[in-house]
Amino acid sequence: MMIDQKMNEKRVPRDFHARDPEEQRLFLTDTWCDHCQQLGLGMRDPEEYELFGMIFIEGKCCRCGEAVLTELTEDDFDDE
């Protein structure tokens, strides 16, 4: 059981660019920046990964350059 827990704590890279181009566009434009406290500023340099069984897309705010993090939820997969 301890081995499974340690494996889940490792960040597992995923290929953001393997997503449908429209889906990529939505994830890159529909963002919230905690630093700017504003919606829709955009994200650049996206990195997708899995951590603790959850999928994240992390990049930099197009306005300020601070980290922007999107956690994908079950709602993001409803159309699949």
Output the pLDDT for position 51: 95
How many domains in the chain? 1
Which residues span the domain enclosing 46?
A: 2-77
Output the pLDDT for position 73: 81
Q: Distances from the Cα of 11 to the Cαs of 2, 26, 31, 49, 52, in angstroms?
A: 17, 23, 22, 6, 8
The Cα–Cα gap between 46 and 56 comes to 10
Could you say which residues of the chain have pLDDT below 50?
Answer: 1-3, 5, 80
